[in-house]
Amino acid sequence: MGEIQDINSTKRIRTVRTMISLFGLLLHATSLAACCIGQSPDDARLPALGMAGCWQFDREAVPDAEGAVRDHSPHGHHATLRPGAATDSNGKIGGALVLDGKGGSAECPDAVALNPQRQLTLMSWFRLEKGTLESQKILVGKGAMRHADPYYQYAIAAMDRDDIPATLTFYATVNDTLQSCSARDLPLDLYTGWHHVAGTFDGQTMRLYLNGREVAAANASGTLSTYATPLVMGAYGNLPRSAAYGLAGALDDVAVYGRPLSANEIGNYYWRAQRDLILSRPGTGETFGSVADDHVAAQPFTALGPALESAAIWLAEANDDELLVQVREADAEGRILAAASLSAGPVGKRVIPFDPPIAMQTKQIYVLRVSAGAPGTTRGAVQQQAAGAAAKGLTETGPSDHAMATELRFLPCGLRIATGARRVRPKTEADMRYEVSLNAALNAKRDVWGERLIARAEGPTYENIVDYLRPMLWIGDYVTTSGVYYLVFGRHDSVTGGGDSALHVADGSEIISRHHKTGRRTTFFVGSDGSERYGTDLHRLDGPRLHKGYQPVLLTEYQDRDGGRWQQESFATQIPETDSLVSFVRITRLADSAGGKPVKLRIRTTLTDAVVQDNRLVSHGSSVLVFQPGAEFEPPYVTYTFPESSREATVFLVRLNQPAACKTIVPDARRFAAERDAVCRFWDEHLGRGAVFDVPERRVMDAMRNLLIQNLFMTWRYSIGNAYESWYPQESGDALKALGEYGFLDEYRENLQVLLPRTFRGEDERVVEYAHKLFYTAHCARLTADHAWLSANRTLVKRWIEGMRDVIANDLQGLLGMTRAGDIHTHRYYSNHQAIGWRGLRDMAALCADQGWQDDASVAAGAADSLRTAFLKTFDATKVDMPDGTLFFPKVLKDSPATPYDPITASRLGSYWNLSIGTTLKSGIFDPRGDTMRRTMDYMLLHGARLLGLTRFNYYPVPIGSYRAGGLPGYSTSGADNVYGPGILDALAELDKADQIVLSLYGKLAHGMTRNTFISGEGDSFGVVPGQHFRALYLPPSNTNNALFLKTLHDMLVFTHVDAEGRPEELLLAHFTPRGWLEDGKTICVERAPTMFGPVSFTIRSQLDDGVVEAEVVPPSRLPPKRLELRLRVPVTHKLQSVRVNGQQHTQIDVARGTISLSDLTGTVRVVATFTPK
């Protein structure tokens, strides 16, 4: 029944999606202002503690002081209105100071209280007239004695012109040196509505706040300097009061404090004054609905202002993984305006700030939608708000009787025009033809494209497969600013990998420190005004690609919108000058690239407190960026201006991943080249420690080398830089197993050792954890022949065996208990868990027996036999013999025939069956070369399991040709998830389906990873999403998906078959290679490849034009295989004629398959095979 319920739930979700949309369209635009919290704006109070001066402009002038404005602080520093200034009643809070822009101002004489020396806060509301910021204007400030360095005692200034857009600056002279704290390129329109600005200084740090939120910070340690000058509002105190220097607009609630107000004080004051823009419906503690798995919670709302600053939800159940929070137009399925992820966290109020704010239409209806933000989100529920809400909420089942608890904070001002959505390329006829062709292939149950390639004389190749699908680039703009994937660069110092890492975004746009959510970002801008983010238009991007084809050095070339051409090269390394990982960056403006126009390169940092010291940016005394001379720093940008484009110009940068002490370093061409060469040597030396796998195809070799580099750094970590930076028993095990099989035995053993004592998630997955640990431990022990290591882990092995035995003994069905299945949380008898449980017990039983641990061997063997008997009984009851002769059995074992998934990925459960079936097939619980295996594989091939040799997957699911709006990148359309492909590859190898394996290799190389950079996500999309030309991938990089390609290549060359007892039996060499690899003049070489028999080496040289292929094989000697075979897969134009082995005629050959038996031969075996044209 669980299986049927899951299938029905998929249908229900589709129906509900329509209901949600219809319900959203029927919502009326009810005003929700009555839901707002707080009191009227007139009651907003400034903090009183430490106030040195306060001018509110909303009371009568001081008696006997005509034209004066009252100071509401205890000090009585009343201000005088200058010509061109007046007060009126249209302030933000009561009255306002109105300035004509021609020199009008208010002036307060110098006073002791206005000259704090240790700490300071300066703040004001402002409303500006359009155009007044064409030059820098002072909102409020106290000048130096004359307008020369240091210019200001303290001040807040604003500016907005093309080269310095939307900029606020807090100035203060500290220790007689002018310091500044600037926020530039602010997303808000400074000319719309009232804004609040505040600057604080605590003796060490200057901070700048806009509308209640910190927007910049800067180091400035020391004592504030003082000058006998007046405090001036709306003009410079040391320049003429004229139109050139006067502010046009209005000020309100100007205040000076002799202490730094806290972020909470400033924020609370701002929002008390904006209470009519807060829509708050707190949670009651009662559950509104789940937001885990496929569940959705949504709440319609009416916008109270032109921009949404933040949202908050209340959780009734803590979320155990990411949540996706979206703001949509009109209804729950409307256009997505913004999305943000919410990390795993506790119950209660959870705030989601939007940076930049979300542009809205006041009084229009929008929806806040919350759902799972990762396939692994198994828990999480939102609270309901108190009864009586004007608009009810929605869940995946339709309209609710309750409303979801939310708090929404709006801004009274709109966004700048420059802050817009990504430009969408118009759909062309070629786009439409592509979609039609793709959808036809996806709708076909067979892999029609793959079959077409296999039928070609040359078989599948990279060249004939690459144009079927578009490349992958998109990872989501909630991960990187541009939405393009990143590459992980770093250097490890132990076999367990890891360490600090720099995330270099593949389009060259930015570098992120360590994690996409928390890491500091450095972003690059180019063009005539330096405002175009590098790589913005992907159709003008050449690349990305890697240095030498495989080294972790990113190369791109970009043409900006003005026609200027740029090149960028970057990598990360360790250097002696600092303890931080550093990224070296070279950016070249190519000659004659912009028609003689001056161009700019701007480098933006997200550190708000950085200052310049000797051609480096420094934060709190620690360096963050070292750059070449010639730049200007106007926070947050380091800017290079190139006056001529007729000459090539290059800038070198050294970016510290973490702020750190750094000795003098000169970033130049020589140092850049030296460090790049050192990085290449570092990784080449690491690769040289492994076995040699050399095939005659450069792209395949580049992919192999780079994937090994990636996985030597990631080791057991499923990913790096995102929420998947964790371990999983099967996935991490597969990645480590691949490293071991490529000769990195220390990495295999030592990283496995890191994981063996760890406990994975909850008790409902414990026996599955034990099963995988038994399997990988047994394999590692046989591959390394490290008996001491195995003995050191005997206690753990014994615990796993006995734990599984006890579960089997106590289960009513004699199975390995009901478990959760990863993203599917219903407890059932999952076939893949039962099968891998049997495999782990069987393999460890044989290994324990070989070790002489008879008691452990007996327990493991008994449990394995009992489990297999129970498994086959339920399997026989559940399986379905299909009319086409194929065989189906479900993911969930039960006591009656199942309903086949047909096509397989039409349902979510079918998609997960497609992922897990490989684990069942590779387990050997069926005869690996028997009828059940063959018929099950035929079912997969005939009912939609593969496309271009890749494992199909449909997460939500969505119909072919459709997409999930706002869905997870890589999963929002029908696509692929190749993480669990290794098991399917094992099954194909056992069934000797060489052409399917070749198809998988090239399908993965062309379409299962990014082109030329070899990055794989967990899943990747096939279908088209409107506005996204390139395909998407989910949370790359993935060490397990990397391992699939590595395993495919490895098994093409070296494949081990184990017997029914779990001991290695057969060794097959070069059985599944592409035929093109043995064209005339080509060579295949394998040296020191570890196997469970011991290391094996062989070389195959083709002289096919002369009718000869020669091979030299050094079989393993530790444990001679019972069967050793070499296959020579030459182009189909030739057939095997005869073979000589060690100079003697050899008859143990299969002419049709090109297979030569070398069983029982030892030492160096020389093979000469004669071929004739067909």
Please indicate, yes or no, if residue 419 is contained in any of the structural domains.
no
Residues 988, 1008 share a domain:
yes
Please indicate, yes or no, if residue 924 is contained in any of the structural domains.
yes
Q: Is the pTM of this model over 0.85?
A: no
Around 971, how many Cα atoms within 13 Å sit in the side-chain half-sphere? Answer: 22
| Residues paired with residue 142 on neighbouring β-strands, in sequence order | 154, 231
Res 1004: pLDDT: 98
pLDDT digits (tens, 9 = 90+) for 837-861: 999 999 999 999 999 999 999 999 9
Q: In whole angstroms, what separates CA 697 from the centre of its chain?
A: 31
Residues 1106, 1042 share a domain:
no
* Sequence-ordered list of residues with C-beta below 8 angstroms from that of 1149, at least 6 positions apart, any chain: 1136, 1139, 1155, 1156, 1157
Distance set, CA 446 to CA 912, 936, 945, 1099 (Å): 18, 14, 8, 37
Distance set, CA 758 to CA 55, 377, 385, 750, 752 (Å): 62, 21, 41, 14, 10
Tokens of 306: 């032109």
Residues 233, 207 share a domain:
yes
Which pLDDT band holds residue 20 (cuts at 50, 70, 90)? very low
pLDDT of 535 above 70:
yes
Res 49: pLDDT: 95
User: What is the dihedral sign for C-alpha 1046, 1049, 1053, 1055?
Assistant: positive
Around 106, how many Cα atoms within 13 Å sit in the side-chain half-sphere? Answer: 30
**Contact indicator for 772, 837 with CB cutoff of 8 Å:** no
What CATH number should be reported for the domain holding residue 978? 1.50.10.10
Distance set, CA 1174 to CA 256, 1101, 1107, 1132, 1148 (Å): 94, 20, 12, 8, 22
pLDDT digits (tens, 9 = 90+) for 410-420: 998 888 754 44
Please indicate, yes or no, if residue 310 is contained in any of the structural domains.
yes
Residues 926-944 have a mean pLDDT of 97
* Sequence-ordered list of residues with C-beta below 8 angstroms from that of 789, at least 6 positions apart, any chain: 749, 753, 780, 781
Distance set, CA 1159 to CA 969, 1064, 1065, 1122 (Å): 50, 14, 11, 7
List, in sequence order, every beta strand (DSSP E) within 990-1122. Answer: 1020-1021, 1031-1032, 1054-1058, 1064-1069, 1083-1089, 1096-1103, 1108-1114
Res 31: pLDDT: 35
User: What is the dihedral sign for C-alpha 355, 356, 358, 361?
Assistant: positive
Closest CA to 1173 of 1132, 1126, 1139: 1132
**Contact indicator for 796, 757 with CB cutoff of 8 Å:** yes
Residues 527, 600 share a domain:
yes
Please indicate, yes or no, if residue 1048 is contained in any of the structural domains.
yes
Phi, psi of 168 (to 5 degrees): -120, 140
Residues 868, 804 share a domain:
yes
| Residues paired with residue 218 on neighbouring β-strands, in sequence order | 206
Three-state helix/strand/coil letters over 478-526: CCCCCCECEEEECCCCCCCCCCCCEEEECCCCEEEECCCCCCCEEEEEE
* Sequence-ordered list of residues with C-beta below 8 angstroms from that of 582, at least 6 positions apart, any chain: 572, 573, 574, 575, 654, 655, 656, 657
What CATH number should be reported for the domain holding residue 178? 2.60.120.200
Residues 969, 832 share a domain:
yes
Res 64: pLDDT: 42
pLDDT digits (tens, 9 = 90+) for 733-759: 999 999 999 999 999 999 999 999 999
Q: CB 420: neighbour CB atoms within 10 A? A: 9
* Domain-ending residue, one of 665, 686, 707: 686
- Provide the angle, in degrees to the nearest 10, between the axes of the packed helices 1039-1053 and 994-1007: 140
Of 19-33, 184-198, 845-859, 1027-1041, minimum mean pLDDT range:
19-33
DSSP state, residue 216? E
* Domain-ending residue, one of 370, 388, 411: 411
User: What is the dihedral sign for C-alpha 356, 359, 360, 361?
Assistant: positive
pLDDT of 103 above 80:
yes
Residues 255, 317 share a domain:
no
* Sequence-ordered list of residues with C-beta below 8 angstroms from that of 1035, at least 6 positions apart, any chain: 374, 475, 479, 719, 722, 723, 724, 970, 1017, 1018
| Residues paired with residue 1144 on neighbouring β-strands, in sequence order | 1141
Residues 119-126 have a mean pLDDT of 97
Percent of the chain at pLDDT > 70 equals 94
Please indicate, yes or no, if residue 712 is contained in any of the structural domains.
no
Tokens of 238: 């040391």
Residues 183-195 have a mean pLDDT of 89
List, in sequence order, every beta strand (DSSP E) within 258-404. Answer: 278-281, 283-290, 296-302, 307-317, 323-329, 336-342, 348-359, 365-372, 381-385, 394-395, 398-399
pLDDT of 230 above 70:
yes
Average of per-residue pLDDT values in the chain: 91
Residues 972, 858 share a domain:
yes
Closest CA to 233 of 122, 116, 74, 383: 122
For strands 79-81 and 106-108, give the pairing.
Answer: antiparallel
Res 355: pLDDT: 82
pLDDT of 182 above 90:
no
Residues 332, 268 share a domain:
no
Strands in 398-399's sheet, in edge-to-edge order, are 336-342, 323-329, 365-372, 296-302, 394-395, 398-399
Residues 1142, 1015 share a domain:
no
Of 58-72, 113-127, 925-939, 1051-1065, minimum mean pLDDT range:
58-72
pLDDT of 65 above 80:
no
For strands 472-474 and 1031-1032, give the pairing.
Answer: parallel
pLDDT digits (tens, 9 = 90+) for 146-171: 988 999 999 999 999 877 889 999 99
Tokens of 293: 């798995």
What CATH number should be reported for the domain holding residue 1112? 2.60.420.10
* Sequence-ordered list of residues with C-beta below 8 angstroms from that of 1140, at least 6 positions apart, any chain: 1146, 1167, 1168, 1169
Residue written as token pair 């086949």: 900
Which pLDDT band holds residue 28 (cuts at 50, 70, 90)? very low
* DSSP states of 1110-1123: EEEEE--SSS--SE
What CATH number should be reported for the domain holding residue 398? 2.60.40.4070
* Domain-ending residue, one of 273, 289, 307: 273
Return d(Cα 189, Cα 48) in angstroms, integer: 30
pLDDT of 22 above 50:
no
**Contact indicator for 1027, 422 with CB cutoff of 8 Å:** yes
**Contact indicator for 839, 861 with CB cutoff of 8 Å:** no
Res 1027: pLDDT: 83
Residues written for the chain = 1174
The alpha-helical segments, DSSP class H, found in 726-853 are 729-741, 745-755, 766-784, 787-792, 794-810, 831-851
Distance set, CA 736 to CA 698, 718, 728, 733, 1041 (Å): 25, 11, 12, 5, 12
Tokens of 288: 């509104």
Question: Following CA atoms 355, 361, 367, 368 in sequence, which dihedral angle do they give, to the nearest 10 degrees?
Answer: 20
Return d(Cα 606, Cα 604) in angstroms, integer: 7
Please indicate, yes or no, if residue 700 is contained in any of the structural domains.
no
Strand, helix or coil for residue 133: coil
Please indicate, yes or no, if residue 329 is contained in any of the structural domains.
yes
Which pLDDT band holds residue 2 (cuts at 50, 70, 90)? very low
Return d(Cα 1079, Cα 1128) in angstroms, integer: 11
- The boundaries of the domain holding residue 1028 are 722-1058
Residues 982, 899 share a domain:
yes
Which pLDDT band holds residue 62 (cuts at 50, 70, 90)? very low
Return d(Cα 823, Cα 845) in angstroms, integer: 31
Residues 231, 346 share a domain:
no
Which pLDDT band holds residue 16 (cuts at 50, 70, 90)? very low
Q: How many domains does the chain have?
A: 5
**Contact indicator for 543, 556 with CB cutoff of 8 Å:** yes
Please indicate, yes or no, if residue 466 is contained in any of the structural domains.
no
Tokens of 172: 């203060």
Res 43: pLDDT: 60
Return d(Cα 351, Cα 280) in angstroms, integer: 12
Return d(Cα 407, Cα 368) in angstroms, integer: 10
Q: Is 429 exposed, middle or buried (0-12, 13-18, 19+ CB in 10 A)?
A: exposed
